[in-house]
């Protein structure tokens, strides 16, 4: 129907998503939300890959996106396991509680 979306727009979107993810990780105190914003960053990277793939009309971008998804899933699962243990030990998910090692 209307003109195809130009590659710059998609990259811009991916960039914005990426920066949102970074901001999320820095601002949020709760570990779950930090993991969540890291997920956003990973998806942004995936989006960039898909866009690049479409630019060169090669499937590689999408194959890469699938890999990114699997990796993100694995990483989040391990992350949640760790979060469970943190909650058992510290009774709170606030990242600033975990500051014993310093100097």
Partner 1 sequence: MSGNDFIALSPLLLLTGSSVLIMLLIALKLSHRNIQLSSLLLFILAFFSLFYEPDVSPHHIEPLLVVDRFAVFIMGLIIFSGLVVNILSYIYFEEKEEGPKEYYVLLFLCTLGACVLATSKHFISLFLGLEILTVGLYALIAYLKARHHNIEAGIKYLVLAAFSSAFLLFGMALIYLQTGSMEFSIIGRSLHSLPSLPPLFLTGLGMMLVGVGFKLAVVPFHMWTADVYQGAPTPVTSFIATVSKGGVIAVLLRFFIVIDGFRFSPLMLMLMSIAIASMIVGNLLALQQKNVKRILAYSSIAHLGYLLVALIPGSVMSIQAVSFYLAAYFITILTAFGIMTILSTKENDAEDIESYKALFWKHPLLACIFSAALLSLAGIPLTAGFVGKFFILAASLQAGFWMIAFVLVIGSVIGLYYYLRIISKMFSGRGGVPRKEQRSHPVFYLVSVIVLSLLTLFIIWFGVYPSGLIYFVDYFRLNM
Partner 2 sequence: MDYLLWLIPAFPLVGFIVLALLGKHLSRFWIAIIGAGSVSLSAILTFVIGFSFLSSTPTGGHYSQTLWTWLEVAAFNPKITLYLDALSLVFVFVITFIGALIHIYSVAFMAADKDYARFFACMNLFVFSMLLLVLADNLLLLYLGWEGVGLCSYLLIGFWYENPTNGYAARKAFIITRLGDTAMAIGLFVIFYQFGTLVIPDILALAPSTWHEGATIATVAALLLLAGGIGKSAQLPLQTWLPDAMAGPSPVSALIHAATMVTAGVYLIARMHVIFQLSPIVQMIVAGIGAATLLIAGFSALTQYDIKRVLAYSTISQIGYMFLALGLGAWTAAIFHFMIHAFFKALLFLAAGAVIEALNHEHNMFKMGGLKNKLPVIFWTFLIGSASLAALPIISAGFYSKDQILWYAWASEHGSPILWLIALLGAFITAAYTTRMMVLTFWGDAKTSVGHYPGKLMTIPLIVLAFFSLFAGFIELPHNFGQFTLFSNLLHQVLPETVLKAGIHGELLFQLLALLVTFGGIYLAYIFWYKQPQRIEKLKRSAPLMSLYRFWFSGWGFDQVYQVLFVKPIVFIANINKNDVVDKLYQGITTATVHLYRLLSFTQSGSLRWYIIGLVIGAILILSIQLML
96 binds, among partner 1, partner 2, none (CB under 5 to 8 A by kind): partner 2
Q: How far is CA 45 from the centre of its chain?
A: 8
CB of 2: closest distance to partner 1 in angstroms? Answer: 23
Site map 4..43 versus partner 1, x via CB under 8 A:
---x---x--x---x--xx--x-----x--xx--x--xx-
- What is the phi/psi pair of residue 32, to 5°? -60, -45
Give Dmax over CA atoms of the chain in angstroms. 60
Q: Which of 1, 4, 85, 91 binds partner 1 (CB under 8 A)?
A: 85
């Amino acid at each position: 129907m209307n003109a195809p979306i130009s590659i710059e727009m998609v990259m811009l979107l991916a960039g914005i998503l990426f920066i949102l993810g970074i901001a999320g990780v820095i601002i949020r105190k709760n570990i779950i939300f930090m993991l969540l914003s890291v997920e956003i960053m990973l998806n942004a990277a995936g989006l960039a890959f898909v866009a690049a793939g479409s630019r060169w009309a090669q499937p590689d971008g999408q194959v890469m996106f699938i890999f990114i998804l699997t990796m993100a899933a694995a990483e989040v699962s391990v992350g949640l396991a760790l979060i469970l243990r943190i909650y058992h030990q510290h009774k709170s998910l606030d990242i600033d509680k975990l500051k014993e090692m310093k100097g």
